[in-house]
Structure 1
């Protein structure tokens, strides 16, 4: 689409106004997906404002849990400083895949061919006369 497309579309990344609004704000970190996290200014209640600039599509499910907690003031320190390291059995966070080719499709779904396994003998169809 070229250069003008991201200027006007918020769903395809940050708009020009968002980039201008970063002036005077503090960049506090970056996650494994390349999202940038900022803090600066205060809301009417005096709570510091925190926000994310997404690397790619603007999708809230692309914020890892540790950064979600920081964005919503569940902990004050940056996740790299306040949280313990990830355990070896923990899986990395992944975005919501609904609507993509990688989405889960059960065997009876139309996108997966529309054929499901035949019902077994424990199923009895309902009829209005019964």
Structure 2
């Protein structure tokens, strides 16, 4: 979106006002693999330190990795590199929500994949209004 749109929008990233005034007196705590920066400063009504994220790109909460999510929500006291163990070799990196993108999951019957799905297996029989009642169906019986 660029530098020209930045003063007027908040959904494409931090606005100039946030950068100039919102982070005044705050301390940068860290940065994640997606380029988001994390800040701490001030306190909320309960006396807990306020924690912030400045997104690198679109403001989308699914772009916050789990370890930083836990820090933002006061589940851990310190930044993830100090309070959490190193990631295991088998752990996959966090992926943002891909809904609405070309990389979104689409099952076999989706229109975006051609709209063809496997035929029914034959265990389904459609209801018809002039057909017989099913055995044990008392809805049509006289009271």
TM (normalized to structure 2)?
0.85
Residue range with higher mean Cα deviation, 106-115 or 118-127: 118-127
Higher RCO, 1 vs 2 (CA within 8 Å, ≥6 residues apart): 1
Matched residues in 1 for 2:89 and 2:54: separation? 28
What is the CA distance between 1:61 and its match in structure 2?
0.2
Matched residues in 2 for 1:70 and 1:2: separation? 30
Bigger-Rg structure (1/2): 2
* Corresponding residue number in structure 2 for 1:3: 3
Size of the aligned set, in residue pairs, is 130
Matches within 5 A, 1:1-130: 2-20=2-20, 21-128=22-129, 129=131, 130=133
Matched residues in 1 for 2:52 and 2:81: separation? 17
Matched residues in 2 for 1:98 and 1:3: separation? 27
> Which ranges of structure 2 fall in alignment gaps of 5 or more residues?
134-143
Aligned-CA RMSD value: 1.3
What is the CA distance between 1:46 and its match in structure 2?
1.1
What is the CA distance between 1:83 and its match in structure 2?
0.4
TM (normalized to structure 1)?
0.93
